[in-house]
Amino acid sequence: MGKNKTILLIILVLLHSTLFAQITATWVPKQVLQFGPAPSPMDTNKFALHLGTLTINAPRSQLFDPNILHYNFTSAFTFTGPMSWHNDSAGNPVYSDQPSDFRLVAVSTNKNSVEVRNLDQTDGSSRLRFEGGNLNTSSLVVELYILGYQDWIRYKPGALYTLTNGSMVGFGIGVAENGSTYDNRGYAISVNGNSPSTTTPFFAPGNSLSSPVPYGPPVSQVQYLFNITDEQDFNISDAFGSSKAPIARTKLTLNNANSSLDYTFQFIFRNRTLSRFFALQLEGQPQARSIGYALEFNAQRVYGNEPIEWTVRGNTMHVQDILVTQINRFEAENALSGTYRDTITVEIIPPDTI
C-alpha cells in the first residue's frame, strides 16, 4: 500500500511539472532607443524610453502572479543632459546639463484592465500586475519603459542623455504555482527559448545604455568634408620674428552634426624628413643652407608629427588659416638668393563619434 502511494506521488509531481513547463515568454527589445513623451496610459506629460515588448504565454490560461526577476538591473536610474526651467528674454528655453531621475515601469492590459506598475521592489522581484490569483489569460503583453519624473517639455529635442546612475543589463521572468504568489511558491520560466535561469538582455545586439540616448530619432551619421585652399607664396620678410604670413586656408564642414555637441579633430603636420622642426630649402640646390621657420594653426605652434586639436560645433563651414612665422631675419638676409620651398602634408583624425 505504501509503495502505491509513493508511485502515485511521483506521477503527480511529474504531471505538475509538465504543466509548469508550458508557460513561456518572449522578449522583443526595441531596435532603436530614443526618449520622447510618454504614451498613454502613462502620464503623457512625462519623459519616457520604450525598452521593448514582453509576452507571457500560458496555453491553459493558468497564469499566477507574473514577476520580473531582478537578475542584473537596478530599479532607479539617473540620466544627465540638457534641461530647461526658464526662458530667455526672447522666450527661448535656456538649457544646461542637469541630472533627472527615472524608474522602470510595466504597462499591461488584462481583460480591459490597464495598469502602469512601477517595478521598484528591492527583494529580487517585482510584480508585473497588481491583481492576485489567476489572471485567466493565455497571453499577457507587457510593455517595459524607463519613465521619468519630470515633464518632457523640460528636455531638449535632439539632445543626448547619458546614464549617470543605475545599470540595466538583463532580467528573468517568474510565475507562481496555482493559488500562490511568486514570493511563496514561484519559479522562473523560459524566455526566448532559453533556460529559465538564463539572464535575458534588455537590449538588442549593439544597443546599451553605455551610449547616450537621444531625445527623438537618432541623428544621422555625422559626416565631414575637409580641404585646404588658397595655397600661396609669401615674401620671407612678411614672416620675420613674430610677424605672420598666411600660406593656406583650411575648411572643415560638418553635416548631420548635433548642435549641442563639440567635435574635436586632430591635425598632424609632416614635412618630407619627418622632423619636428620645419625649414625652407633653396630650389635646385639641396645642399644650400636652409631657412628655419614655424607654422601656426588654430592659434597653436605646430611641431612636426605632433597632433593639434581643433574643436568645432554645428553644421557649418569652419575656417582656419595656416600661418608661417618665426623666420630669423639675419639668417634669411644672408641666405643665397632664389626661391625657397617646403612641402607639408596634413593628416586629419576625426573624433570617435564620426
Give yes or no: residues 155 and 73 share one domain. Answer: yes
Whether residues 273 and 180 share a domain: the answer is no
Task: Categorize the per-residue pLDDT at 223 as very low, low, confident or very high, splitting at 50, 70 and 90.
Answer: confident
Q: Is the pLDDT of residue 354 over 80?
A: no
| Residue 15, phi then psi, degrees to nearest 5 | -65, -40
Phi, psi of 151 (to 5 degrees): -70, 145
Question: Do 162 and 207 belong together in one domain?
Answer: yes
Asked if 70 and 164 sit in the same domain, the reply is yes
Say what the pLDDT of residue 1 is. Answer: 43
Residues 48 and 174 occupy one common structural domain: yes
Kindly report, residue by residue over 175-209, the tens digit of the pLDDT: 998 888 998 899 999 999 999 999 999 999 989 99
pLDDT at residue 352 greater than cutoff 90: no
Residues 181, 301: one domain?
no
In eight-state DSSP terms, residue 177 is: P
Together in a domain, 47 and 137: yes
Strand partners, 59: none
Quick: pLDDT tens for 34-77.
Answer: 999 999 999 999 999 999 999 999 988 999 999 999 999 998 99
Q: Give me the number of domains the chain comprises.
A: 2
Q: What is the pLDDT of residues 246-264, one digit of tens each?
A: 999 999 999 888 888 899 9
Confidence of residue 236 (pLDDT cuts 50, 70, 90): confident
Query: Does some domain include residue 308?
Result: yes
CATH of the domain at 310: 2.60.40.1090
Give me 10's grid cell: 511521483
Give the position of cell 535656456.
94
Same domain (yes/no): 254, 340: yes
Beta-sheet pairing, 291-297 with 278-282: antiparallel
Average pLDDT of the segment spanning 6-20: 45
Residue 172 CA: distances (Å) to CA of 130, 137, 261: 18, 20, 37
Residue 301 lies in a domain: yes
Residue 128 has pLDDT above 70, yes or no: yes
Quick check: is 19 in a domain? no
What CA–CA distance (Å, rounded) separates 111 from 83?
Answer: 39
Residue 283: domain span = 223-349
Are residues 229 and 98 part of one domain? no
CB 174 within 8 A of CB 71: no
Q: Which residues contact 75 (CB under 8 A, 6 or more apart)?
A: 103, 104, 118, 119, 120, 121, 122, 126
Looking at per-residue pLDDT, the higher value among 354 and 174 belongs to 174
Q: Which of 190, 214, 238 is the last residue of a domain?
A: 214
Q: Same domain for 328 and 206?
A: no
**What is d(CA 158, CA 296) in angstroms, rounded to the nearest whole number?**
36
Identify the domain boundary among 180, 196, 214.
Answer: 214
**Domain presence at residue 85:** yes
Whether the pLDDT of residue 309 is over 90: the answer is yes
Q: What is the pLDDT of residue 195?
A: 94
Q: Are residues 67 and 185 in the same domain?
A: yes
Q: Is residue 3 part of a domain?
A: no
Verify that 90 and 229 share a domain, yes or no.
no
Is 96 inside a domain boundary? yes
Q: Is residue 177 part of a domain?
A: yes
Domain finish residue from 214, 240, 263? 214
Whether residue 17 lies inside any domain: the answer is no
- Is the model's pLDDT at 11 over the cut of 50? no
